Amino acid sequence: MTSRESDFLAQIPNQLFIGGRWVDAEGGKTLDVFDPSTGDVIRRIADASPGDGIRALDAAVAAQEAWAATAPRERSDILRRAFDLVQARKEDLALLMTLEMGKPLAESRGEVAYGGEFLRWFSEEAVRISGRYGMNPEGTGRMVVSQRPVGPSFFITPWNFPLAMATRKIAPALAAGCTVVVKPAELTPLTTLFFAQLLAEAGVPEGVVNVITTSSSSAVSGPIISDPRLRKLSFTGSTPVGQKLIAQAAEGVLRVSMELGGNAPFVVFEDADLDKAVDGAMLAKFRNIGQACTAANRFIVHESVAAEFSQRVADRVRAMNVGRGTEDGVQIGPLIDDRAVAKAQELVGDAVERGARILAGGNALEGPGTFYEPTVVEGVVPGSAILREEIFGPVLAISTFSEEDEAVRLANDTEYGLVSYVFTQDLARGHRMIDRLETGMMGLNVGVVSNAAAPFGGVKQSGMGREGGLEGIHEYLNVKYTLIPA
């Protein structure tokens, strides 16, 4: 670690943010945050207890009425100031994400741009919350339909996009008039703590946003979720954890938003523009080191173009630079921890044992840090674990098909349904894929679909609810109907 990095990290808050104040965890407990590229501890921060979690909820509840009554324009202005502060500190935010998560600086800068857009988008949506008014059909009264904030909300965010996952939840909640408690992932909590500091600078009132960091996620989250004062739960993470949280939320009949696992198909038809398909594959697979729920997991390529496609992506992959994300020219940083490396090795090994061939990579790298080579595997056969499980690493697995119906069957052969990618120059076929592929999102001849102005979310076991777009703010609003006699 350089002296500049050490000096910068020393400025990042290391306490809990509750009720507008930075406070130590109960009993002074702490946890360590690591740099995955070296394995070194980069910051020691507060480790919240269940009691700390309830204190954070207390603060959110206390602030709820006043924040809901705050003028929409004022909420809008605060979010816009937060956007401006994120842009002003973009280099600091990018460096912080690279240090705690490992992604290359260029990608961290991209996340700052993407994550910041949720602040700008929902600052504009805050003043557009509307309802309707009109006579009922019988003529006996006038109907007023209005929207009110859901109330105190609890967010559990993942480690892979530390800023964007926070802004994607916090911005619509604040725009709608809800207060929040945020529990960032234990592996990458520093970005959220820094962002909380920026929100305070932007003028977010005390108690409206509270951040608790902890190594005991279920122990701290459980009492918050079971508290009858909580009205909303939003989680981004694995499907098994999401299923447990949904069950917990059911007791309080909480509004829930779940962005869960993915197993995205990347379908390349025989008429595809291979230049675009290869470019799209590199983005869809290797963005964020493959550690994204939207990452292409299963490359389903028409048999007539599979050999050329496989060779071209393998050539691109062999040329990728692997290293610490702060180094110039690095395209692939470390995986988040040893378990991620072991999973990549296991999935590739299983595919090879079943007859697949490695065209590039295929090995963990020796030395410090948790690095795995960017990898291309072709000839993956049905039944391989790599086709069923979310890889969450830089491994591109290719199988083939011969007919359109077969491609659709293979693409839909999963319990997940977050996103799909399709490459074809046949417009009619593209429209058929929109209708036939069972996913909440689709990229047609593009490898990245995420945008703050678009609804993000999946179907089947990839979750429920939408984040972003016109739809995003409605996750934090209840509809209220009032009848006024004529």
Task: Give the pair of three-digit tokens for residue 71.
Answer: 């003028």
Predicted pLDDT at 24: 98
Taking each helix axis from N to C end, the angle separating 306-318 and 274-286, rounded to the nearest 10 degrees, works out to: 50
Instruction: Name which of 156, 15, 37, 47 is nearest 100 in CA terms.
Output: 37
Q: Are 411 and 276 in contact (CB under 8 A)?
A: no
C-alpha to C-alpha distance for 86 and 177, rounded to whole angstroms: 21
Residue 152 burial (C-beta neighbours within 10 Å; 0-12, 13-18, 19+): buried
Please say if 259 is a catalytic residue: yes
Q: How far is CA 287 from CA 135, 293, 426, in A?
A: 52, 11, 27
Q: Choosing from 259, 373, 390, 475, which is the catalytic residue?
A: 259
In this prediction, residue 63 carries a pLDDT of 98
The pLDDT of residue 1 is: 82
Q: Where are the beta strands (DSSP E) in 92-194?
A: 132-135, 141-149, 153-156, 180-183
Distance CA 424, CA 410 (A): 17
pLDDT value for 387 = 97
Instruction: Report the candidate in 403, 201, 162 with the shortest Cα–Cα distance to residue 288.
Output: 162
Give the burial class of 139: count Cβ atoms within 10 A of its Cβ; 0-12 exposed, 13-18 middle, 19 or more buried. Answer: exposed
**In this predicted structure, what is the pLDDT of residue 3?**
86
Phi, psi of 13 (to 5 degrees): -55, 145
Cα 292 from Cα 421, distance rounded (Å): 14
Closest to 335 measured CA to CA, from 46, 112, 34: 34
**Cβ count near 122 (within 10 Å):** 29
Give the largest CA-CA distance in the chain. 78
β-partners of residue 238 are: none
- Contact call for residues 440 and 457 (beta carbons, < 8 A): yes
pLDDT at 478: 98
| Tokens matching residue 378 | 């072709």
Decide if 322 contacts 330 (C-beta within 8 A). yes
Active-site annotation holds for 293: yes
CA 416 – CA 243 distance, rounded (Å): 13
Helical segments of 252-376, H only: 274-286, 306-318, 338-353
The one-digit pLDDT tens for each residue of the chain (486 residues) are 888 899 999 999 999 999 999 999 999 999 999 999 999 999 999 999 999 999 999 999 999 999 999 999 999 999 999 999 999 999 999 999 999 999 999 999 999 999 999 999 999 999 999 999 999 999 999 999 999 999 999 999 999 999 999 999 999 999 999 999 999 999 999 999 999 999 999 999 999 999 999 999 999 999 999 999 999 999 999 999 999 999 999 999 999 999 999 999 999 999 999 999 999 999 999 999 999 999 999 999 999 999 999 999 999 999 999 999 999 999 999 999 999 999 999 999 999 999 999 999 999 999 899 999 999 999 999 999 999 999 999 999 999 999 999 999 999 999 999 999 999 999 999 999 999 999 999 999 999 999 999 999 999 999 999 999 999 999 999 999 999 999
Q: Which two structure tokens, joined as six digits, stand for 20?
A: 């507008």
Q: Identify which of 161, 177, 187, 205 has the alpha carbon closest to the alpha carbon of residue 45.
A: 187
